[in-house]
Chain A
Amino acid sequence: MQLFDFNGGVTPEYHKEASTQSPIAVSPAPSRNGLKNFLVIPLHQSIGGTPRPLVSAGDRVLKGQRIGAADGDMSSAVHASTSGQVVAVEMRRMPHPSGLSALCVVIEADGRDEWIARQPFDYHQHTAAETRDYLRDAGVVGLGGAVFPTHLKISPGKGGKLDTLIINGAECEPFITCDDLLMRERAEAIIQGVVILRDLLAAGRALIGIEDNKPQALAAMTAAVQAGGHQDMAVVAVPTRYPAGGAKQLIRVLTGIEVPHGKRSTDYGVQCFNVGTAYAIHEAINLGQPLISRIVTVAGNVAAPRNYAALIGTPLHTLLANSQPLPDTDRLIMGGPMMGITLPGDEVPVVKATNCILVGSPRLFPPPPPEMPCIRCGECAKACPADLQPFELYWFSRAKIFGKAQEYHLFDCIECGCCAYVCPSHIPLVDYYRFAKSEIWANESEKAAADQAREQYEFRQLREAREAQEKAARLAARTAAGRAAATNALAMAPVTAPAATSAAASAVTSAATPVTEPAQTPSPQAALIAAALERARAQQVQPANTTNLTPEQQAEIAAIEARRAQIRTQAHPHLPPDD
C-alpha cells in the first residue's frame, strides 16, 4: 500500500517500553486514607455544552446510570462509574491547567458495583438519528484526547457514503501506551467497534494506522482483522515520527488527503476515530455499557509504570498509588510530554480525556534554559507538521497583533509542540499560540456579546418609538372623544333621525379610525374610547351643523381632517412618554 508523508515532525525519545511490560491492570477501588471511596465525576467532559445534572445529593445511583444529560446535541452525557450514593453535586477542582473548579457529581461507592440493566443496541433496527442519540446518551466521545462527541462525527459525507474510515492507533507521543496495550489485549473488541463505525458511515474501506514501533499491537490487530474475515479492512504500519498520530497527519499518511483546518473531513471522504473510541462504541452498542472507564497510562517518574483500566472519576492519588511515584516528583501531567497539561493537584479525577498521567521530575523534564530572542533560524518551520512559519506566528502573538497572526494561519496550528521542541532559543512558542488563541476567542465572544447588545438596544429603541406612536394615537383618540363629548354638551335638542345618527357616528368613527388602527391590541384606553363612543352614540348626538352638508363643505372638512392628521403625526415623536 502506498503511504504518503507529512512535512516536519520530530523524533524524540519514546520511553514506551517501561509501561508495556505488564498487562492492563484494574485500577484500585478509590479510597483516601482507607476511609471512604469517592468518585468525582465532572459533568463537563467533552467539547460542547455542559450536561445538566440528573441527580442530587442523597440519590442512590447504579453503575452506568446517567447522571448528566447532554445539553443539546453538541454535548455528551455522563454516567455514574459505579453504584453508590450521591453525596454532593458541587464545584470541584478540574484536571485543567487553570486549576479552576466545575460542577461535579461526587459519588460514595458502595462497593457492590451494581450495574443498571444493560441491553445491546441493535443499530440495524434503528434510524441513523436514533443511533446517534443513543451514542450521545451513552456518553461516547473521542478518547484520543480531544473528547469530541462521537455521535457528531457519525454522518456520512456527500452522497451518504464515505471512502475511507481511518482508525487511529498510531499513538505517537512519548510515554503513552494505553492504545498500544488496548490493541494488544482487546483487538477483537476494537474490530467489532470498527465494524459498527464502518456500517454507520457506509465506509468503503477501513484503514487502521499503527506506528511501526508497536509490532505486537500490529500483529494482534492484523490477526483480529483476519479472524473476522474483513476484506475491506487493513492494518497499516506507519513510520514512527511525532506527530504521526495527529488526525490530520494520519489521514495524510494513509490517504494523501489533507483536510484543512475548520473543514469537516467527511467532505473529503475520510473520517478518523481513535482505537479507544472504537472500543467504547463496541461496549456501548454491543454490550449496552455507557462510557464509564478508560485505559490510562501511568508513566514517568514512578517505580512501576503501567496501564490501568480506571473508572471515570477516580481521583489521581488513588490511580497513582499502585505505581508509586518517586520522591522527587514535582508535577503531574495529563497527556504526554509534548502536548500534555500540568495538573493542579493529585485529587483531580480521571476524566474521559485522561489517556496518560505522566509523573514528572526535574530529572525527566528539566526546567527550560532561559529564553533567548528568536534568531529566525527556521528550525521551527522545518519541524512544523502544519507547514506554518512558527516564528512569524510567535512574532505576531508576542506583539499581540492577533489579526496578523490569524492571517498567518494561527488556527491551523495543532499545538503539537514540535517547534518549541527544536527551537535553539528555547522560546516557549506554543505558550504564545495558546495565549493568542484564547485572546482571539475571548475577543470574538466579547464581540458577539456586543453585537447582541447592540441588536437588543436597537430593537428596544424601535419598540419605544412604536410605543410612543401608539400612545400619541391614543391621546389623539381621547382628544377626539373629548371633543365629541363637548359637542354633545353644546348640542341643541336632539333630533331623532336614525339616518342622521348613524352618519354622525360614522363621522366620529372615521375621525378616530385612522389613529386607533396602529394599536393592534386592545388596551384599557382603547376600551375607554370605545365606551365614550358608545355613550355618544347612545345619546344620539347630532351636531346640527354637520347635517346636510354640501359637497364643497364636505371637501373642506376632509381637507381640514387631513391637515389635522398630518399635524398629529408630526407631533408624535415629541409626545412625552407617560404611564
Chain B
Amino acid sequence: MNNSPYLRQATSVQSVMLRVLFALLPGIAAYVWFFGAAIVLQIVLASLTALAAEALVLHLRGKPLAIFLTDGSALVTAWLIALSFPPLAPWWLVVLATMIAIIVAKHLYGGLGQNPFNPAMVAFALMIVAYPQFMSRWPGTDAIDFATQWQIIFGLHANQALDALTMATPLDALRTALHSTNATTVTVASALAHNPAIGLMAGRGWEWIAAGHLIGGLWLVQQRIITWHLPTAFLATLFLLAGLASTINPSEFAGPLFHLFGGGAMLAAFFIVTDPVSAATTPYGKLIFAAGVALLTWIIRSFGAYPDGIAFAVLLMNIAVPLIDMATQPRVFGHKKNGSNHHG
C-alpha cells in the first residue's frame, strides 16, 4: 500500500508527450501544404523505426515494454527528427538517424529521463556531418507531388534529375552565396533576391510552417506543458542578435525575421530547447540555457559551414546544463541566499 499523498493529479508522461505531438500538427499541416506529403511519409518511417528500436532496447534491458512503449517519448523524438530532416532525404537516412537517437543517444545514457543530450539533435548532428549531401534535399517547385517524392525518398528516381527537383533551404542558400568565391559582390539582399525559395520573410512556405509551430507552442505554454522561459529567451536572443548585426552590416547579416522564421528556429524554440530532460531546469537556468542556444545558433548560422546551427548549439548547451543548474538554484523559502549551500 502506498503512502501519502494518496491523491494524485490526473496526469502522466504519456499525456504530456501526446499533447506535444498534438501541438506539432499545425506546423506539419503547413509543411504538407507547401512541400507535399513527403513529410508524412518521413514521420511514419521515423515513428515505426523509433518504436521498433525502443522495443528492442527495452527488451534487451529487461524493462516492461507496455509502459515505456506507450509513454510517447520515442514518438516525440521521431517526429522531431522527421521535421528537422529534409523531406526528400533517402528513407534509410531517417531510419538510421532515428535508430541512433533511440539506441545511442537515449538508451545508452540510461533511457527515458537520463539522456544528457537531446536525442533528435544528436541524430541530426551526426547525419549532417556524415551525409551532408543528403541533408539539403528540400523539394523544389517541381517535386511537390507525392509520386515524385516517393520515388526520390526510396531512390527510384534517376540521380541526374535530382538536382533539378530539390533545392536548398533559404538559410543554406544564403550561406552558400555569401561564402562563395565571388562572395565580395554578394549581399544578403542580392543572394535572396534571386532565390525561388524566398517568400514573405524567410522563404516560401517556411514562415507558415514556423507560424504553425508558434501556434502549437503557444498552446503548449497555455497547457502548462512548457514554461515561457525557454522559448522567450531563445527567440528574444536570436531576434536581438540578428537585429543588431543586420543593422550594423545589412549586406553580410540577415535580418531578425529571417532568422526567427527561417530554418528550424520556431521548432527549436518550442519543441527542441524545451525538451525537459536535456534542458536546464531552474527558472534562471532556463533563460541562460535558451539564450546560449540562440547565441550559438546565430554564430554557427552566420559564420559556420553548416546550413543550420541549432543542433550543434543545443548539444553544446546540453553539456553546460549541470553547471547552469547548479549555479542558478532558486532561493529556498525562508533562506536569504540563492543556490545550494549547507542547510542550517
- A and B in contact, CB less than 8 Å: yes
Cβ–Cβ contact B281 & A421, under 8 A? no
A389-B282, A407-B342 known; A342-B5 Cβ under 8 A: no
**A369-B3 in contact (CB<8A):** no
**Which chain A positions have C-beta within 8 A of B3?**
97, 341-342, 428, 430-431, 434
Report the minimum CB–CB distance from B271 to chain A (whole Å): 14
Cβ–Cβ < 8 Å partners of B342 in chain A:
406-407
Contact among B7, B9, B113, B332 for A412, CB-based, below 8 A = B332
Chain B residues within 8 Å of A372, by CB: 12-13, 67-68, 71, 112-113
B268-280 contact mask (Cβ, 8 Å, vs A): 1 or 0:
0000000011010
Are B13 and A412 closer than 8 Å at their CB atoms?
no
Within 8 A of A (CB), among B1-19: 1-9, 11-13, 15-16
With a cutoff of 8 Å between Cβ atoms, the chain A residues found around residue B246 in the complex are none
Contact: A375 with B4, CB < 8 Å?
no
C-alpha gap A38/B311 in the complex (Å)? 72
When the two chains form their complex, are residues B334 and A258 in contact, meaning their CB atoms are under 8 A apart?
yes
Q: A338-B7, A375-B13, A377-B276 are in contact. Are A408 and B333 (CB under 8 A)?
A: no
Known interface pairs A248-B333, A387-B330, A409-B332; A337-B7 also in contact (CB < 8 Å): yes
User: B343, A412: Cβ atoms under 8 Å?
Assistant: yes
User: Shortest beta-carbon distance, A421 to chain B, in Å?
Assistant: 5
The count of chain B contact residues (Cβ–Cβ below 8 Å) is: 42
- A368-B8, A417-B5, A430-B4 are known contacts. Are A408 and B276 too (CB-CB below 8 A)? no
Mark contacts of B146-163 with chain A using CB atoms, 8 A cut-off: 1 yes-contact digit, 0 otherwise. Answer: 000000000000000000
- The residue on B at minimum CB distance from A407 is B340
* B331 interface hit (Cβ, 8 Å): yes
Q: Which of B7, B282, B333, B341 contacts A386 (CB 8 A)?
A: B333
Which of A121-129, A259-267, A278-286, A458-466 touches B?
Answer: A259-267
Known: A373-B112, A375-B277, A389-B282. A421 touches B5 (CB 8 A): yes
| A259 surroundings in chain B (CB, below 8 A) | 334
Chain A 353-383: CB-based contact to B (< 8 A → 1; otherwise 0)? 0000000100011011110111111110110
A17–B127 alpha-carbon span in the complex (Å): 61
Complex-state Cα separation, A428 to B330, whole angstroms = 23
The reply on A55 being an interface residue by CB < 8 A is no
Contact in complex: A331, B343 (CB < 8 Å): no
Q: How far is the CB of B54 from chain A (nearest CB, A)?
A: 14
Q: Mark A410-435, 1 if CB is under 8 A from B, else 0.
A: 11100001001111111010110010
What is the 8 Å Cβ interface bit string for chain B, positions 48-67, against chain A (1 contact, 0 not)? 00000000000000001001
A391 contact set on B, CB distance < 8 A: 281
Closest to A415 in B: B4
Within 8 A of A (CB), among B322-343: 325, 329-335, 340-343
Which parts of B51-103 form the interface with A (CB within 8 Å)?
64, 67-68, 71, 73
Q: How far is the CB of A455 from chain B (nearest CB, A)?
A: 23
A368 CA to B8 CA, complexed, in Å: 8
Q: Which residues of the partner chain B approach A388 to less than 8 Å between Cβ atoms? A: 332-333
Are A407 and B71 also in contact (CB < 8 A) when A6-B333, A337-B6, A424-B15 are? Answer: no
Q: With A10-B9, A408-B340 in contact, do A374 and B332 touch (Cβ < 8 Å)?
A: no
Judge whether B6 and A365 touch: CB under 8 Å: yes
Q: Are B334 and A263 in contact (CB under 8 A)?
A: yes
B111 pairs with A421, CB closer than 8 A: no
Given A338-B7, A424-B12, A424-B15, A389 and B334 contact (CB-CB distance below 8 Å): no
A71→B28 CA distance, assembly (Å): 72
| Chain A residues within 8 Å of B113, by CB | 372-376, 425
Does B114 belong to the interface (CB within 8 Å)? yes
Contacts of A392 in B (CB 8 A): 325
Assembled-state Cα–Cα distance A376/B289 (Å)? 15
User: In the complex, what's the smallest C-beta–C-beta distance from A202 to chain B, in angstroms?
Assistant: 24
From 298 to 344 in chain B, residues with beta carbon under 8 angstroms from any chain A beta carbon are 325, 329-335, 340-344
- The verdict on B232 contacting chain A, using a C-beta distance below 8 Å, is no
Does B331 contact A387, Cβ atoms closer than 8 Å?
yes
**Is A210 part of the binding interface, using a Cβ–Cβ cutoff of 8 Å?**
no
Judged by a CB distance under 8 angstroms, whether B227 is at the interface is yes
In the bound complex, CA of A331 to CA of B71 (Å): 31
Report yes or no: A174 in contact with B7, Cβ–Cβ below 8 A.
Answer: yes
Inter-chain contact B6/A260, CB cutoff 8 Å: no
CA distance A285 to B241 in the complex (A): 71
CA distance A7 to B331 in the complex (A): 11
Contact in complex: B281, A333 (CB < 8 Å): no
- B329 touching A408, Cβ below 8 Å: yes
Provide the bound-state CA to CA distance between A367 and B8, in Å: 10
Is A340 interfacial (CB-CB < 8 Å)? Answer: yes
B11 touches A424 (CB 8 A): yes
Taking A258-B334, A331-B1, A369-B12 as given, write out 15 further A-B residue pairs in contact, using a Cβ cutoff of 8 Å, ordered by the A residue number: A7-B333, A261-B343, A341-B4, A372-B68, A376-B279, A386-B332, A389-B330, A417-B5, A421-B5, A421-B7, A423-B11, A424-B13, A424-B15, A425-B13, A426-B8
Show 26 A/B contacts (Cβ-Cβ < 8 Å), sorted by A.
Answer: A12-B7, A252-B333, A335-B4, A337-B4, A337-B5, A339-B5, A368-B2, A368-B8, A370-B64, A372-B67, A374-B113, A375-B13, A375-B112, A376-B281, A381-B281, A382-B227, A386-B333, A387-B332, A407-B341, A409-B332, A412-B334, A421-B5, A424-B15, A425-B12, A426-B12, A430-B4
- Which 6 A/B pairs are nearest by Cβ-Cβ distance? A260-B334, A417-B5, A373-B113, A365-B6, A258-B334, A377-B276
- Chain A residues at the B interface, C-beta cutoff of 8 Å: 6-7, 10, 12-13, 97, 174, 248, 252, 258-263, 330-331, 333, 335-342, 360, 364-365, 367-370, 372-379, 381-382, 385-389, 391-392, 406-412, 417, 420-426, 428, 430-431, 434
Q: Which B residues are within 8 Å of any A CB, using their own CB?
A: 1-9, 11-13, 15-16, 64, 67-68, 71, 73, 111-114, 227, 276-277, 279, 281-282, 325, 329-335, 340-344
